[in-house]
């Protein structure tokens, strides 16, 4: 969950208890599970004996408001595991948590307010009177697997939002209403960009022609920009032997997120979950001297990760995706400057290319518990120093987060926000000191001795899937002209002017404009409405007058009818 005010987090967690209390009064035979605070609100997962729907939410909200005046402080109680289990005689979910929380003979904590109490680690308001009855709302009902695994029972999740004031709630609801209009899953279907198939599998998107145009345009531009910034293109296969990922350390550290191995006659092969080990083999294909560095190898590499089905979300969380990836091999004295250039490349992409100005960096450092990380203290210290120094010199906004580093080094996530405030991790960038040791990645220094390289992993646009999902919502499907899958559509009034229509289409296509022609036997009003729903930047109407005058009647998205003009004038306007 993104960082939020602790008092607000406590308020939302307390509201989750209030939700559970209302549900238990309305449906006493329900089994409760967990109810955490999340960004902007809270949720609680239940196992109901009979299904409920969003039509039940007003009834639950009403009960929450009835209960609230009887609540005051949240009092903490410690129980032994045996005593705690007695509170949940027929609830396997709570019993599982009790077993987990009471390891080593620990007592488990319960929190009580009014007549309701529940197993809970804490984090509440001092008094339930801090919960404003006019500043919370239940928003939706959804399915959710216990602990996010499809192997477990499916539960009913009730979501809610909570704020300090009714004005804040109203502003949030207004914003979410706008967000629903921009939902990339809905717009993706309406604009014919992508689809999913049960026969292909969950989390594996299929790109339709228009969506493929967007992918290709971004990729072509990225290749051009990266060439200008000193990158060389490489390409690697989609699978590799198990030994490669053992050498990299992804097995065992990352194995749970990889697809199961394919057993072949010469050993196990895995679908590629990351590009870096493959690219290291390209670096090792020939010897390098200090004069060769830095080497910047870029690849649009498709990878596959076995995300839990309960976490999949349109294009934003998938199992197969193509990364705008690159690996930079450099000397230690070059690492800071190279990392700084990487951050400046991100800034260029977000601000100059896509017009995204609200973004910041999150530096992820290792947790105090070092079991998840490679035991190389000197490497960690040096890497963190290099990254922190580069971030400070960048002048870009950043925060630090403990416990989110990769197992082989600190990482920097670029967090971007759309115009409606939706935040996504656009890319992850890492300084890797481990690869040189594991893969023997070295160069010959000026003194003739081998020295280890530093490796920078970077992907300014992250995955095509997630980034395009973000852009769909950011632009509300109305892509800028250079990125629009269809840049102009010719709308005909009749069949008599086909030779002129064809000549206009030929000229536009020769100029590189992505064009469609609507020759349906429909009214011009319907054709205009349909094209506007597809959010096409320019509509060009051609009838008898336009054919005779050798003009096109232009309608521009967001501006309406601009009148008739010669084709050359339109081209000057569009290009």
Going by DSSP bridges, is the β-strand pair 194-195/551-556 parallel, antiparallel, or unpaired? unpaired
Catalytic residue among 32, 120, 276, 432: 276
Catalytic residue among 94, 215, 327, 362: 327
- Residues 94-118 pLDDT 10s: 999 999 999 999 999 999 999 999 9
Bridge partners of residue 413, in order along the sequence: 362, 428
Binding residues for Zn(2+): 276, 327, 457
Give the fold, CATH level 3, of 488-574.
Rossmann fold (3.40.50)
- Tell me which residue of 460, 443, 480, 467 sits closest to 229, measured CA to CA: 460
- Tell me which residue of 382, 381, 430 sits closest to 408, measured CA to CA: 430
pLDDT at residue 42 greater than cutoff 60: yes
User: Measured between alpha carbons, how far is 408 from 435 in angstroms, rounded to an integer?
Assistant: 8
User: Measured between alpha carbons, how far is 332 from 201 in angstroms, rounded to an integer?
Assistant: 44
Maximum CA pair distance of the chain?
A: 91
Q: Residue 3 — very low, low, confident or very high, per pLDDT cuts 50/70/90?
A: very low
CATH 3.10.20.30 is the classification of domain 6-178 = no
Give the fold, CATH level 3, of 190-475.
BirA Bifunctional Protein; domain 2 (3.30.930)
Phi-psi domain of 529 (left: phi exceeds 0; alpha: psi -120 through 50; beta: other)? alpha
- Tokens, residue 123: 């984090």
User: Measured between alpha carbons, how far is 206 from 27 in angstroms, rounded to an integer?
Assistant: 42
- Residues 321-350 pLDDT 10s: 999 999 999 999 999 999 999 999 999 999
- Is 59 known to be catalytic? no
Q: What is the pLDDT of residue 1?
A: 39
Contact present, 217 and 353 (Cβ < 8 Å): no
Catalytic residue among 411, 464, 474, 555: 411
Of all helices (H) and strands (E), which one includes residue 504?
A: helix 498-510
CB neighbours (10 Å) of residue 37? 21
- Is 466 known to be catalytic? no
Q: What is the pLDDT of residue 509?
A: 97
pLDDT at residue 380 greater than cutoff 80: no
Percent of the chain residues topping a pLDDT of 70: 96
Q: Residue 408 — very low, low, confident or very high, per pLDDT cuts 50/70/90?
A: low
Task: Tell whether omega for the bond before 294 is within 30 degrees of 0, i.e. cis.
Answer: yes
Helices (H), 129-285: 166-181, 184-190, 209-228, 242-248, 250-253, 276-283
Distances (CA, A) of 328 to 299, 343, 432: 12, 13, 10
- Is 192 known to be catalytic? no
Question: If you average pLDDT over residues 462-483, what whole number do you get?
Answer: 95
| Owner of token pair 């105090």 | 368
The C-alpha torsion from 310 through 315 and 316 to 317, rounded to 10°, is 40
Contact present, 237 and 243 (Cβ < 8 Å): no
- Residues 270-307 pLDDT 10s: 999 999 999 999 999 999 999 999 999 999 999 999 99
- Tokens, residue 148: 């996010």
User: Measured between alpha carbons, how far is 460 from 359 in angstroms, rounded to an integer?
Assistant: 12
Bridge partners of residue 143, in order along the sequence: 156
Q: What is the pLDDT of residue 2?
A: 43
Contact present, 128 and 82 (Cβ < 8 Å): no
Contact present, 551 and 208 (Cβ < 8 Å): no
**pTM for the full model?**
0.79
- Residues 540-553 pLDDT 10s: 999 999 999 999 99
Q: Residue 308 — very low, low, confident or very high, per pLDDT cuts 50/70/90?
A: confident
Q: Residue 363 — very low, low, confident or very high, per pLDDT cuts 50/70/90?
A: confident
Catalytic residue among 94, 157, 272, 305: 305
Contact present, 259 and 265 (Cβ < 8 Å): no
**Burial of 478 from C-beta contacts in 10 A (0-12 / 13-18 / 19+):** middle
Going by DSSP bridges, is the β-strand pair 515-518/488-492 parallel, antiparallel, or unpaired? parallel
Catalytic residue among 157, 184, 319, 457: 457
- Is 346 known to be catalytic? no
Residues 6 or more apart in contact with residue 99 via CB below 8 angstroms? 81
Question: If you average pLDDT over residues 309-317, what whole number do you get?
Answer: 90
- Tokens, residue 438: 């594991």
**Residues for the chain: how many in total?**
575
Question: If you average pLDDT over residues 396-406, what whole number do you get?
Answer: 74
- Tokens, residue 206: 């299929």
- Residues 145-180 pLDDT 10s: 999 888 899 999 999 999 999 999 999 999 888 888
Catalytic residue among 278, 323, 346, 362: 323
User: Of 13-27, 43-57, 394-408, 450-464, which gets the smallest average pLDDT?
Assistant: 394-408
pLDDT at residue 256 greater than cutoff 70: yes
Parse the chain into domains and list their residue ranges: 6-178, 190-475, 488-574
Q: What is the pLDDT of residue 435?
A: 87
- Is 232 known to be catalytic? no
Q: Residue 428 — very low, low, confident or very high, per pLDDT cuts 50/70/90?
A: confident
- Tell me which residue of 500, 531, 499 sits closest to 516, measured CA to CA: 531
Task: Give rounded-to-5 percent helix, strand, coil for the chain.
Answer: 40, 25, 35
- Residues 491-503 pLDDT 10s: 999 999 999 999 9
Question: If you average pLDDT over residues 212-221, what whole number do you get?
Answer: 97
CA 217 to chain centre: 20
- Is 305 known to be catalytic? yes
HEC sequence for 285-320 = CCCCEHHHCCEEEEEEEEEECCCCHHHCECCCECCE
- Tokens, residue 428: 């992850």
Q: What is the pLDDT of residue 239?
A: 97
DSSP state of 353: I
Q: What is the pLDDT of residue 407?
A: 55
User: Of 208-217, 272-281, 295-304, 359-368, which gets the smallest average pLDDT?
Assistant: 359-368
Q: What is the pLDDT of residue 496?
A: 93
- Is 327 known to be catalytic? yes
Helices (H), 41-165: 57-67, 81-86, 92-101
């Amino acid at each position: 969950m993104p960082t939020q005010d602790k008092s607000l987090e406590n308020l939302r967690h307390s509201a989750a208890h209030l939700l559970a209390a209302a549900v238990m009064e309305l449906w006493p035979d329900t089994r409760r599970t967990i109810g955490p605070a999340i960004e902007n609100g809270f949720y609680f997962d239940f196992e109901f004996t009979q299904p409920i729907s969003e039509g039940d939410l007003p009834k639950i909200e009403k009960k929450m408001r009835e209960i609230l005046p009887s609540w005051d402080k949240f009092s903490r109680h410690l129980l032994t595991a045996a005593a705690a289990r007695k509170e949940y005689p027929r609830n396997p979910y709570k019993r599982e948590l009790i077993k987990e929380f009471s390891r080593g003979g620990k007592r488990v904590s319960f929190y009580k307010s009014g007549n309701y109490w529940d197993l809970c680690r804490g984090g509440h308001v001092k008094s339930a009177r801090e919960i404003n009855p006019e500043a919370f709302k239940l928003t939706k009902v959804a399915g959710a697997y216990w602990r996010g695994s499809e192997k477990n029972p499916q539960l009913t999740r009730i979501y809610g939002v909570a704020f300090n004031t009714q004005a804040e709630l109203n502003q949030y609801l207004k914003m979410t209403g706008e967000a629903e209009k921009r939902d990339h899953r809905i717009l993706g279907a309406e604009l014919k960009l992508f689809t999913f198939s049960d026969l292909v599998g969950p989390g594996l998107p299929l790109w339709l022609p228009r969506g493929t145009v967007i992918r290709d345009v971004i990729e072509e531009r990225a290749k051009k920009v990266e060439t200008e910034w000193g990158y060389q293109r490489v390409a690697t296969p989609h699978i590799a032997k198990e030994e490669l990922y053992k050498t990299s350390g992804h097995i065992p550290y990352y194995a749970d997120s990889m697809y199961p191995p394919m057993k072949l006659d010469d050993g196990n092969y895995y679908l590629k979950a990351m590009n870096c080990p493959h690219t290291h083999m390209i670096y090792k294909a020939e010897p390098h001297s200090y004069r060769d560095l830095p080497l910047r190898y870029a690849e649009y590499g498709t990878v596959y990760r076995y995300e839990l089905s309960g976490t999949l979300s349109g294009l934003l969380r998938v199992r197969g995706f193509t990364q705008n990836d690159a690996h930079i091999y450099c000397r230690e004295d070059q690492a800071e400057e190279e990392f700084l250039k990487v951050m400046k490349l991100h800034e260029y992409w977000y601000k100059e290319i896509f017009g995204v100005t609200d973004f910041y960096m999150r530096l992820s450092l290792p947790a105090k518990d070092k079991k998840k990380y490679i035991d190389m203290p000197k490497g960690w210290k040096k890497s963190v120093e290099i990254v922190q120094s580069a971030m400070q010199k960048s002048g870009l906004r950043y925060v630090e987060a403990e416990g989110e580093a990769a197992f082989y080094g600190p990482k920097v996530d670029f967090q971007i926000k759309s115009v409606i405030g939706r935040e996504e991790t656009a890319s992850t960038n890492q300084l890797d000191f481990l690869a040189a040791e594991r893969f023997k990645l070295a160069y010959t220094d000026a003194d003739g001795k081998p020295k280890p390289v530093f490796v920078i992993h970077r992907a300014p646009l992250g995955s095509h899937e997630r980034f395009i999902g973000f852009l769909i919502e950011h632009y509300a499907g109305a892509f800028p002209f250079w990125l629009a899958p269809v840049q102009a559509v010719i709308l005909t009034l009749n069949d008599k002017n086909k030779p002129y229509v064809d000549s206009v289409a030929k000229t536009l296509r020769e100029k590189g404009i992505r064009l469609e022609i609507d020759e349906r036997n429909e009214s011009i009003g319907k054709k205009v409405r349909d094209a506007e729903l597809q959010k096409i930047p320019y509509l060009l109407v051609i009838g008898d007058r336009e054919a005779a005058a050798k003009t096109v009647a232009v309608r521009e998205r967001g501006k309406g009818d601009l009148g008739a003009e010669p084709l050359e004038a339109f081209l000057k306007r569009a290009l």
